[in-house]
Amino acid sequence: MATLRRLRETPRHLLVCEKSNFGHDKSRHRHLVETHYHNYRVSFLIPECGILSKELKNLVMETGPYYFVKNLPLHELISQEFINTFVKKGKLILSLDKDTYEESGLQGHPSQYSGRKIMKFIISIDLMDLSFNLDSKKYERISWSFKEKKPLKFDFLLGWHHTGMEESVMMSYFSNYQIQEHQPKVSLSTVRDLQCPVLQSGELGGTPEMSCSALELFDWLGAIFSNASLNNEPNNFISTYCCPQPSTVVAKAYLCTVTGFILPEKIRLLLDQLCHYFDEPKLAPWVTLSVQGFADSPVSWRENEHGFRKGGEHLYNFVIFNNQDYWLQMAVGANDDCPP
Amino acid sequence: MLTHGGGWVKGTWNLPVHFFAISYESIHFLNKKKTQKELTGLVDAALPLDVLTYEEKTLSAILRICSSGLVKLWSSLTLLGSYKGKKCAFRVIQVSPFLLALSGNSRELVLD
């Protein structure tokens, strides 16, 4: 019986849904966008829209560039020059397996999601603290570990939010390591005669026969971006999934997806611009902005530990209403802290 | 648990379904409708299953199963080596209770 019960178990996931208004003093939307660092995919959906505005189009086309460096030794990231040039404040967080951790000779702590046997360790190095104390024993030890004891090299994706400095500084700084510049991939499309759920901004859980819930909207959005059919009959042999009810049909909707290594600052600009979408009267009752993190990122929000487990999900979605109310859904997987 | 207060409502829901993205190799000889039906037929005998999408070009599909059937479906797909005498293989690419998570896979980012 215990075996049968275990066969029906799945790793726990969390979906947190909250609602607020962009005008609220205590609204956390900016903070949550800015502290979700490693973003792989950003998508938005605008019902009743056939052409993107110039401002939105420009923002979408300017989400890059990002950089790819192969075999970069870790000690480069703790050099004074690197910290002074690129880092205003920040931490270097390493997620290491047991053997690498023990060979590194550095102090860390076990992963929160270890079972009986601890297989993963996290080392967190405050870069600003380090750069102010170059003579300290701590810096000596870390330097010795990265240069001699266990020289680690990784392929890195780099994104740099800079004001004033030129883009080319990044390229020339890592020129010894064959740095490549990449632009995020942008995909734009218009969908015709789309069934959209009816939503009421004040009713997160939906109201029977009046509006759909946040959870239904979240699944429907996934169906749209996965190109699933929404019109199946309940007795269809192949699929019974259909658009949540109540729903309306919109003549057209604009979909946009950007993939790459996308900075939270760029996402914040997109969110602000989408909020301004309703400055002029529009047919659309709401628009959505969804962001998905890298499955293998060691952190989700801030320094919250993130693990892959079976899916590596950490994503969030805004539903922006025409009255500046919003819904925010944050989803994480099994080896994750609860979203903030 | 849902609590109401001011402008904030925070809740976590029981997530009753799981979504699979899979690809199958060696099944290029089956056409679209037939593949969906046959795939559904394999597991449908024991568990209700939805084939949400099927793409012939990439031989990939997204399946929906209730969470209590996840382990059975995943192991069935992994262990299935032939169908009607023809060799085949299923590769599970992504699994999540969030369909939105399946619309992007960061492990597929190609940079070289």
Best mutation site among B3, B33, B73, B100 for testing chain A: the one with the most A CBs within 10 Å? Answer: B100
Q: Which residues contact B84 (CB under 8 A, 6 or more apart)?
A: none
Nearest CB to B102 within list A222, A239, A240: A222
Residue A143 identity = S
Lowest mean pLDDT segment, chosen from A98-112, B59-73, B96-110: B59-73
Q: What is the mean pLDDT of residues A118-143?
A: 90
Percent of chain A with pLDDT over 70: 99
* Residue B39 binned pLDDT confidence (cut-offs 50, 70, 90): low
CB contact, 8 Å: B106 with chain A?
A: yes
CB A207 within 8 A of CB A200: yes
Pairwise CB contact (< 8 Å): B53 & A24: no
Nearest CB to A228 within list B53, B72, B105: B53
Q: What's the gap in Å between the CA of A15 and the closest CA on chain B?
A: 5
* Residue A60 binned pLDDT confidence (cut-offs 50, 70, 90): very high
Which strand (E) or helix (H) includes residue A169?
A: helix A168-173
Q: What is the rounded average pLDDT for all residues in chain A?
A: 91
Q: Is the pLDDT of residue A209 over 60?
A: yes
pLDDT at B22: 61
Q: Is the pLDDT of residue A337 over 80?
A: yes
pLDDT at A248: 94
Number of Cβ within 10 Å of residue A79's Cβ equals 13
Q: Is the pLDDT of residue B10 over 50?
A: no
* Residue B20 binned pLDDT confidence (cut-offs 50, 70, 90): low
Reply yes or no: is the peptide bond before residue A65 cis, omega within 30 of 0: yes
Q: What's the gap in Å between the CA of B85 and the closest CA on chain A?
A: 23
Pairwise CB contact (< 8 Å): B104 & A238: no
pLDDT at B8: 34
CB contact, 8 Å: B8 with chain A?
A: yes
Nearest CB to A218 within list B10, B100, B105: B100
pLDDT at A12: 83
Pairwise CB contact (< 8 Å): A315 & B98: yes
Residue B89 identity = A
Nearest CB to B111 within list A13, A68, A241: A68
pLDDT at B43: 46
Reply yes or no: is the peptide bond before residue A47 cis, omega within 30 of 0: no
Q: What's the gap in Å between the CA of B50 and the closest CA on chain A?
A: 4
Within 8 A of A295 by CB-CB distance, chain B residues are: 105-107
* Residue B11 binned pLDDT confidence (cut-offs 50, 70, 90): very low
Nearest CB to A24 within list B7, B53, B105: B7
Which strand (E) or helix (H) includes residue B82?
A: strand B82-83
Q: What's the rounded Cα separation, in Å, for the pair A97 and A298? A: 12
Residue B93 identity = I
pLDDT at B34: 45
Q: What's the rounded Cα separation, in Å, for the pair A180 and A174? A: 9
Pairwise CB contact (< 8 Å): B101 & A237: no
- At A70-128, the pLDDT tens digits run 999 999 999 989 998 888 888 999 999 999 999 999 999 999 888 888 899 999 999 98
A151 against A240, higher pLDDT? A151
Within 8 A of A222 by CB-CB distance, chain B residues are: 19, 98-103
- At A214-239, the pLDDT tens digits run 999 999 999 999 988 887 777 777 78
Residue A333 identity = G
Tally of CA atoms within 13 A in the half-sphere of B38 that contains its CB: 15
- Please return the burial class of B102, using the count of CB atoms within 10 Å of its CB with bins 0-12, 13-18 and 19+: buried
Interface ipTM: 0.89
Pairwise CB contact (< 8 Å): A311 & B106: no
pLDDT at A121: 94
Residue in this structure with the two tokens 């994706």, named with its chain if needed? A157
* Residue B45 binned pLDDT confidence (cut-offs 50, 70, 90): low
Q: What's the rounded Cα separation, in Å, for the pair B31 and B60? A: 13
pLDDT at A166: 73
* Residue B1 binned pLDDT confidence (cut-offs 50, 70, 90): very low
Nearest CB to B52 within list A41, A215, A239: A239
* Residue B67 binned pLDDT confidence (cut-offs 50, 70, 90): confident
Q: What's the gap in Å between the CA of A206 and the closest CA on chain B?
A: 13
**Whole-model pTM?**
0.86
Q: What's the gap in Å between the CA of A296 and the closest CA on chain B?
A: 8
